């Protein structure tokens, strides 16, 4: 694939994750902070839970677990490399999940403990051979377009870095290997754990690993990724100056489970800050990207299956054209021009009749301009396109062409104080806006962008935070979307803090919240606008003060300190996969595990709240008093009055039909002036002679039959 095709490539994200774990006697040691579990058991249990969650959200993800520094080298690995695998890099499947789950369960049941299954070796490591083998494993799985190696170790001295020729040679080889990973775009996510100690805890020394990574661009790319595109925090990137935080034992699970969070790009476009030569902003813009903050679990579309005996087979929905004579597939040339392109090349143009025998001709570019939401930056100062009649070549001349922005784009309208922002006006989930470090060159929906986008957006962010302002922007964030009004709210302001214990706030950037505009706004009903009784404000004397105090006490008892969407999973989807997992892994599912309280976090929270109320007599008394007070209140709410009364008494009554009018209608066959009540009243004058009817036409037919019988 060439560079030009890569800029506009659209593909499904398929991530391949390899866990590379270094074995050592310390990693099998039981720890108090882990409840008597070892670091290695905690790592495998966390990977097992990660695979269960990835199966729901991103089932096309591949996972592989490889070990090094083993006493016995596994098959298909270089001799004396000390490598072994629990399972190779493959898409998440029930076989690998069952093998890993059985391995963990055997260790818990003391059937076969992990340190006996994978005894660590003693001696020097062969990291170059290990890294080269993992690189070959990635090369053999080319269908993964996002590749990551999670390097887990508690050994801060992988080789002897004493300045000896042997140590320098090892360092040079590792530099080359890390450079190869960088060249093949394989991300390395280190999780360096503090080695357990019986005495004083010894922090992990990262100096050697910093030297290994410094030979590549991994430092700058990781730093940019951590500050911008990677909006989930990494425990240790191994490179940045402030990255002295290593992973303690209690953080292993959270560090591994964060790997399920993948950067999901919602849109990429240009943010136009200024579009006039006379304005103070000038022609200033930057390229940005928008990322989804949270993703919701949902059931994926299942493949179509059919029974063939006792087996299930996938229904193939793809079709191809085959030559009857040779049986070979017929390949069509997709590079043929379309009908519209042929017409445009031949000079065929679409015309619009504007009257007086005048026709307005438009070419394909003009039609495309009218169909989409192209933004005109200078509508009042367009130079008229002129044509020199004396020029036989018919070339068009113009001094300066107006500038346009085709979707997607966002145009800055102005700024407002953050106190004026109303969160309840947001009509959709906000997106996290970050600068595009590729300056729009690799965006699928853009043909290039603006240079220095990071510095431009960073200056805008600092100004908004310092002045307490948020930006109001307008435009289309996707090529086929309608224009909308957005609020570009900085995350560094106190109002946008998450305030979740043991969890970090959003990184520095902007939250793009869609605001109500045009179709989202509706006028109030007429009865609210015209009836003055709805306009008055309640007097404070009409509100019982004791009622206000009691409500404050109740509401204060139920105050929610923070809300973390990650704590509320989809109960239906998770229970569905929970049953499947237990069936595939042959694990007994108890009745307690099937109860709604153990599968729906919302019901569990409500049950806790109910118990808290029942255990507080004072709160129960206040709620009882409020309920009694509300029951004693009179009907003070006003009901909506109908604008047009529908009762029959207020309607204008039509006069009764006379025999002359009915006879005239019968002769002319025109009954349009008579309604059903009039016809029924006339039929009642002749009981037993005119039959009754339920429909209007039946009554007319019965009256016509009666008149025809009398006229004979």
pLDDT tens for residues 437-477? 887 777 665 567 788 888 999 999 999 999 999 999 998 88
**How confident is the model at residue 685, as a pLDDT?**
84
Q: Which of 64, 84, 222, 231 is nearest to 150 (CA)?
A: 64
φ/ψ (deg, to 5) at 357: 60, 25
pLDDT of residue 260: 65
Q: What is the pLDDT of residue 690?
A: 85
Asked: is 266-295+403-520 a CATH 2.40.290.10 domain? The reply is yes
CA 96 from centroid of its chain's CA atoms: 29
Q: Tokens standing for 681?
A: 């009243």
How high is the pLDDT of residue 84? Answer: 93
Q: Cα(556)–Cα(573) distance, rounded to whole angstroms?
A: 34
Percent of the chain with pLDDT over 70: 74
Cα–Cα distance for residue pair 139/120, rounded to 1 Å: 28
Distances (CA, A) of 709 to 584, 692, 702: 84, 17, 11
What is the per-residue pLDDT across 546-601, written as a single tens digit (0 to 9) for each?
A: 888 888 888 877 767 777 776 777 788 878 888 877 777 777 778 777 787 778 87
- Residues 188 and 149 sit within 8 Å (Cβ to Cβ): yes
Residue-level pLDDT at 238? 27
Residue carrying structure tokens 């009042």: 380
CA distance 527 to 510: 41
Q: Are 594 and 529 in contact (CB under 8 A)?
A: no
pTM: 0.60
Q: Chain centroid to CA 212: how far?
A: 36
Q: How far is CA 26 from the centre of its chain?
A: 40
pLDDT at 3: 39
Short-list 616, 605, 610, 286, CA closest to 452: 286
Question: What pLDDT is recorded for position 445?
Answer: 57
Tens of pLDDT along 515-542? 987 777 777 777 777 766 666 555 555 6
Distances in Å between the alpha carbon of 145 and those of 89, 90, 187, 259, 290?
Answer: 14, 14, 11, 16, 20
d(CA 705, CA 469): 82
Q: Quick check: 275 pLDDT over 80?
A: no
Show contacts of 614-617: CB within 8 Å, 24+ apart.
616/557
How far is residue 497's CA from residue 460's CA, in Å, rounded to a whole number? 19
β-pair partners for 485 = 474, 515
Nearest by Cα to 410 from 460, 375, 439: 375
HSE on the CB side for 241, CA within 13 Å? 0
Q: At what angle do helices 39-57 and 94-108 cross, to 10 degrees?
A: 150
State CA 395 to chain mean position distance.
50
- Residue 339 in tokens: 């009908």
Q: What is the mean pLDDT of residues 691-710?
A: 84
The DSSP code sequence of 3-67 is: HHHHHT------EEEEEEEE--GGGGSEEGGGTTEEHHHHHHHHHHHHHHHHHHH-TT-EEEEEE
* Residue 171 main-chain phi, psi, to 5 deg: -65, -40
Residue 59's pLDDT band, with cuts at 50, 70 and 90, is confident
**How far does CA 636 lie from the centroid of its chain?**
45
pLDDT tens-place string over residues 1-21: 333 334 334 446 788 999 999
Residue matched to tokens 């004072």: 618
Cis peptide before 408 (omega within 30 of 0): yes
Give me the mean pLDDT over the 86-90 stretch.
94
Average pLDDT over residues 240-248: 39
Q: What CA–CA distance (Å, rounded) separates 267 from 245?
A: 33
* Helix boundaries (H) for 184-257: 207-213, 218-227, 252-257
Q: Most distant CA pair in the chain: distance in Å? A: 132
Helix (H) or strand (E) holding 432: strand 431-435
Task: For residue 382, give Cα distances in angstroms to 365, 386, 412, 634.
Answer: 18, 12, 21, 66
d(CA 277, CA 282): 5
* pLDDT at residue 83, rounded to an integer: 92
Mean per-residue pLDDT, 390-394: 41
From 235, 255, 252, 231, select the one nearest 244 (Cα to Cα).
235
Q: In this structure, are residues 472 and 414 in contact, taking their beta carbons and an 8 Å threshold? A: yes
Q: How many CB atoms lie within 10 A of CB 240?
A: 16
For residues 33 and 250, is the Cβ–Cβ distance under 8 A?
yes
Does the pLDDT value for residue 133 go beyond 80? Answer: yes
pLDDT band with cut points at 50, 70 and 90 for residue 631: confident
What is the C-alpha separation between 567 and 590, in angstroms, rounded?
23
pLDDT at 90: 92
Question: What is the rounded distance in angstroms from the CA atom of residue 167 to the CA atom of residue 155?
Answer: 16
Lowest mean pLDDT among 146-155, 243-252, 354-363, 492-501: 243-252
pLDDT at residue number 471: 94
**Count of beta carbons in the 10 Å neighbourhood of residue 194:** 17
The residues, any chain, with a CB within 8 Å of residue 68's CB and separated by 6 or more, are 20, 21, 22, 23, 81, 82, 83, 84, 125, 127, 130
Mean pLDDT of 230-254: 42
Among 14, 40, 52, 172, which residue's Cα sits nearest to residue 118? 40
Query: What per-residue confidence (pLDDT) applies to 305?
Result: 75
Q: Which of 259-273, 305-319, 487-501, 695-709 has the highest mean pLDDT?
A: 695-709
Between 284 and 228, whose confidence is greater? 284
Structure tokens at 438: 């590729």
| 457: its two tokens | 């957006």
3-state secondary structure of 311: strand
CATH architecture of 14-222+236-261: 3-Layer(aba) Sandwich (3.40)
Q: Are strands 409-417 and 469-476 parallel, antiparallel or unpaired?
A: antiparallel
Stretch 241-250: mean pLDDT: 44
Q: Which pLDDT score is estimated for 390?
A: 41
User: Within 507-639, where are the H helices?
Assistant: 526-530, 545-557, 571-584, 591-594, 601-614, 617-632
Q: How far apart are CA 516 and CA 505, in angstroms?
A: 27
pLDDT at 628: 83
Domain map (residue ranges) of the chain: 14-222+236-261, 266-295+403-520, 545-632, 659-711
CA dihedral 526, 529, 533, 539 (to 10 degrees): 140
pLDDT in tens, 637-694: 445 555 444 454 545 567 788 888 888 888 888 888 888 888 888 888 888 788 888 7
Supply φ then ψ for residue 223, to 5 degrees: -65, -45
Mean pLDDT of the chain: 76
Residue where the block lists tokens 């008093």:
625
């Amino acid at each position: 694939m060439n560079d030009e095709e890569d800029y506009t490539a659209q593909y499904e994200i398929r991530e391949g994750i390899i866990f590379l774990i270094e074995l050592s006697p310390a990693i099998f040691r039981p720890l108090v902070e882990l409840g008597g579990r070892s670091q290695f058991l905690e790592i495998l249990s966390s990977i097992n839970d990660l695979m269960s969650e990835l199966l729901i959200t991103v089932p096309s993800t591949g996972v592989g677990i490889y070990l090094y520094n083993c006493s016995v080298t596994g098959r298909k690995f270089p001799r004396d490399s000390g490598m072994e695998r629990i399972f190779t890099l493959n898409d998440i499947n029930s076989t690998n999940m069952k093998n890993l789950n059985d391995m963990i369960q055997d260790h818990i049941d003391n059937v076969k403990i992990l340190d006996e299954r994978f005894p660590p070796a003693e001696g020097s490591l062969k990291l170059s051979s290990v890294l080269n083998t993992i690189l070959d494993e990635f090369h053999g799985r080319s269908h993964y377009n996002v590749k990551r190696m999670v390097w887990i170790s508690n050994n801060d001295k992988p080789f002897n870095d004493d300045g000896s020729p042997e140590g320098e040679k090892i360092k040079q080889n590792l530099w080359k290997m890390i450079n190869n990973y960088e060249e093949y775009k394989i991300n390395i996510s280190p999780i360096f754990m503090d080695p357990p100690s019986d005495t004083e805890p010894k922090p992990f020394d990262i100096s050697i690993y910093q030297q290994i990574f410094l030979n590549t661009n991994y430092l700058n790319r990781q730093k940019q990724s951590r500050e911008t595109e990677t909006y989930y925090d990494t425990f240790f990137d191994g490179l940045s100056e402030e990255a002295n935080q290593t992973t303690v034992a209690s953080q292993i699970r959270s560090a591994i489970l964060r790997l399920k969070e993948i950067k999901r790009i919602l849109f990429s476009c240009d943010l136009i800050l200024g579009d006039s030569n006379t304005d103070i902003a000038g022609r200033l813009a930057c390229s940005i990207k928008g990322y989804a903050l949270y993703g919701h679990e949902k059931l994926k579309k299942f493949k179509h299956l059919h029974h063939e005996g006792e087996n299930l087979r996938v229904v193939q929905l793809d079709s191809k054209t085959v030559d009857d004579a040779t049986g070979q597939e017929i390949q069509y040339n997709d590079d043929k021009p379309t009908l519209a392109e042929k017409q445009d090349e031949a000079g065929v143009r679409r015309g619009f009749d504007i009257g007086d025998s005048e026709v307005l001709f438009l070419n394909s570019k003009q039609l495309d301009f009218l169909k989409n939401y192209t933004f005109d930056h200078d509508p009042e100062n367009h130079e008229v396109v002129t044509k020199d009649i004396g020029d036989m070549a018919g070339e068009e001349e113009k001094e300066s062409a107006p500038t346009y922005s085709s979707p997607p784009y966002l145009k800055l309208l102005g700024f407002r104080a953050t106190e004026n922002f109303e969160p309840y006006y947001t009509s959709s989930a906000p997106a996290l806006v970050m600068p595009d470090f590729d300056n729009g060159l690799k965006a699928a929906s853009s043909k290039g962008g603006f240079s220095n986008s990071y510095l431009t957006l960073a200056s805008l962010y600092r100004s908004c935070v310092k002045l307490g302002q948020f930006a109001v922007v307008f435009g289309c964030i996707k090529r086929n979307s309608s224009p909308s009004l957005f609020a570009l709210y900085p995350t560094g302001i106190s109002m946008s803090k998450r305030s979740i214990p043991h969890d970090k706030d959003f990184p520095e950037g902007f939250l793009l919240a869609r605001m109500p505009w045009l179709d989202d706004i509706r006028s109030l009903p007429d009865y609210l606008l015209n009836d003055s009784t709805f306009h008055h404000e309640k007097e404070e004397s009409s509100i019982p003060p004791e009622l206000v105090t009691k409500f404050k006490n109740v509401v204060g008892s139920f105050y929610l300190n923070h809300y973390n969407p990650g704590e509320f999973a989809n109960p239906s989807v998770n229970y569905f996969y929970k049953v499947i997992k237990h069936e595939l892994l042959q694990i007994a599912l108890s009745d307690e595990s099937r109860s709604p309280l153990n599968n729906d976090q919302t019901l569990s929270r409500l049950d806790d709240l109910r118990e808290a109320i029942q255990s507080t007599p004072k709160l129960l008394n206040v709620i009882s008093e409020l309920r009694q007070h509300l029951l004693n209140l009179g009907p003070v709410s006003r009901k909506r009055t109908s604008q047009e009364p529908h009762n029959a008494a207020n309607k204008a009554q039509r006069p009764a039909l006379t025999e002359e009018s009915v006879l005239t209608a019968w002769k002319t066959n025109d009954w349009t002036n008579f309604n059903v009540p009039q016809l029924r009243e006339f039929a009642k004058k002749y009981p037993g002679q005119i039959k009754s009817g339920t429909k209007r036409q039946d009554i007319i037919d019965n009256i016509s039959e009666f008149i025809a019988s009398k006229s004979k």
